[in-house]
């Protein structure tokens, strides 16, 4: 098995070779499977005003993730049951300003997401690996949460 950080991996190339790619917890002595990579289930999003998440680069030379000064690349997962292992904090006011998602389509549209929770590893309880939020205008119900996993917060394992 090969394990790399987001700055070292070429997902398009590995996916085209039909490699199974697993996104794992980056913390030493944990190595928990967070989710399997799938370009159809994990929609890539650029978010400029997202909350800070941990990041890991130059793995395996640097083994300990650190809080990133800015996190902008995320995978959007719309259903918590897509994850193999993820922990979600209780509702909290993490950030007053909603994030804006730009949705590609015939006309570019912006969607406001109110951030409600942080994502952590369900095994070691460390993070933040991302966040969860509810689209502005929808009922404040956990069933309406969208999940955003930082691309820099996980390790990528493939055979």
Number of domains, the chain: 1
Q: What angle do CA 45, 80, 124 make, to 5 degrees?
A: 95
Give the Cα separation of 46 and 14 in Å (integer).
21
Residue 107: helix, strand or coil by DSSP? coil
Q: Is the pLDDT of residue 16 over 80?
A: no
Q: What is the pTM of this model?
A: 0.87
Q: In the chain, which ranges are continuous DSSP H helix?
A: 11-16
Query: What pLDDT is recorded for position 104?
Result: 63
Higher pLDDT, 137 or 69: 137
What is the CATH number for 53? 2.170.150.10
Burial environment of residue 64 by CB neighbours within 10 A (0 to 12, 13 to 18, 19 or more): exposed
Q: Among all chains, which residue has been given the structure tokens 């691309």?
A: 151
Q: Is the pLDDT of residue 145 over 70?
A: yes
Mean pLDDT, residues 120-139 taken together: 90
Which pLDDT band holds residue 9 (cuts at 50, 70, 90)?
Answer: confident
Query: What pLDDT is recorded for position 103?
Result: 66
CA distances, 38 to each of 25, 55, 76, 86, 91 (Å): 17, 21, 11, 17, 28
Higher pLDDT, 68 or 153: 153
Q: Is the pLDDT of residue 97 over 60?
A: yes
Which pLDDT band holds residue 105 (cuts at 50, 70, 90)?
Answer: low
DSSP secondary structure letter of residue 60: T
Higher pLDDT, 50 or 48: 50
Token readout for 66 is: 């650190």
Give the Cα separation of 75 and 98 in Å (integer).
17
List all residues 6 or more positions away from 25 whose beta carbon is below 8 Å from its beta carbon.
31, 32, 34, 85, 121, 123, 124, 126, 129, 154, 155
What is the residue range of 142's domain?
A: 2-158
CA distances, 57 to each of 62, 97, 106 (Å): 7, 28, 36
Which pLDDT band holds residue 58 (cuts at 50, 70, 90)?
Answer: confident
Q: Is the pLDDT of residue 46 over 60?
A: yes
């Amino acid at each position: 098995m090969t394990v790399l950080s987001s700055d070292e991996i070429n997902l398009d190339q590995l996916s085209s070779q039909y490699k199974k790619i697993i996104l794992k917890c980056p913390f030493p002595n944990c190595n928990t499977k967070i989710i399997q990579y799938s370009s159809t289930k994990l929609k890539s999003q650029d978010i400029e005003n997202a909350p800070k998440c941990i990041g890991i680069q130059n793995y395996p030379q640097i083994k300990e993730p650190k809080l990133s000064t800015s996190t902008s690349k995320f995978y959007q997962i719309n259903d918590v049951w897509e994850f193999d292992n993820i922990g979600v904090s209780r509702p909290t006011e993490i950030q007053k300003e909603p994030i804006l998602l730009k949705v590609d389509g015939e006309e570019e549209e912006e969607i406001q997401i109110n951030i409600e929770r942080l994502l952590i590893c369900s095994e070691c309880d460390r993070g933040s690996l991302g966040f969860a939020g509810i689209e502005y205008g929808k009922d404040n119900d956990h069933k309406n949460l969208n999940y955003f996993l930082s691309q820099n917060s996980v390790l990528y394992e493939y055979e």
